[in-house]
Amino acid sequence: MSSLLVHPAAPDEQGTIIDVTPASAGWEYIGFRVHKLEKGQRIEATTGDQEVCLVLLTGRATVISGEHRFEDIGERMDVFEQIPPYAVYLPNGASYEVEATTELELAVCAAPGQGNHAVRLIAPSDIKQSTRGQGSNVRHVHDILPDSESADSLLVVEVYTPEGNWSSYPPHKHDVDNLPEESQLEETYYHRIDPPQGFAFQRVYTDDRSLDETMAVENGRCVLVPRGYHPVGAPHGYSLYYLNVMAGPKRVWKFHNDPDHEWLIKG
């Protein structure tokens, strides 16, 4: 079994099905959880020394932090509606409460915070939408918390890859602190597949192949990318969604393409 592939567990008392910590992943920056909550179910937590981005993957919820109350937010009932989500940014040192007002799938994205930013709602209208690539490399992107928006460490984005297409392709990496050429960022991929019985493929590999894993990724799995190139392919008949969380020593996304495959975009 791949050490990079995280399988969902049965929901605990807080509905947690995925729980990645720096300790469990063997890295320094990213924490990532997914909660599946029933209508009326509530979670309470504190951010501690982390900043957090709560992403409402599906469903509606009321989110409270201090004097901030975001009442019954959420619009997307299925990630494959392909509309941007609601999200809430929370700085380190904040307490928060989430109450599901419908069935809810909630992602909790975390990375070290320095307390430089306030609690804020990220509405769908705040999220830039774009399309990248061409041909069978087309994918559709929602920038939830890009490096152009304020945060201390976190970068959060979601991507839709149509059936039969490739994504994070040509293979690229961001594992060297060598700006302006490349930034060092850990990354998680939380995968959803439509229809849900399908699978995608993801490879994570380095130039010297000291890391080289290829995984069949089923619905609801999370892939860890500590370093290396990390392309993803969606088979015919199955559309792919993934939520990316990135963080590292500098909050800049600057990637380096695999030289063997860069010809694909230089054509």
Summarize pLDDT for 90-120 with one digit per residue, the tens.
999 999 999 999 999 999 999 999 988 999 9
Matching residue, tokens 């774009």 = 130
Residues 46, 108: contact at Cβ < 8 Å? no
- pLDDT of residue 1 exceeding 80: no
Distance CA 55, CA 109 (A): 8
- pLDDT of residue 240 exceeding 60: yes
Summarize pLDDT for 76-90 with one digit per residue, the tens.
999 999 999 999 999
pLDDT of residue 116: 87
**Residue-range domains of the chain with CATH:** 5-266 (2.60.120.10)
Return the percentage of the chain with pLDDT > 90, whole number. 97
| C-alpha dist (Å) from residue 218 to 49, 56, 135, 202, 206 | 32, 21, 24, 11, 23
Summarize pLDDT for 147-167 with one digit per residue, the tens.
999 999 999 999 999 999 999
Distance CA 58, CA 101 (A): 11
Quote the mean pLDDT of the chain.
96
pLDDT of residue 182: 97
Distance CA 158, CA 189 (A): 9
User: CA quadruple 125, 127, 128, 129: dihedral positive or negative?
Assistant: negative
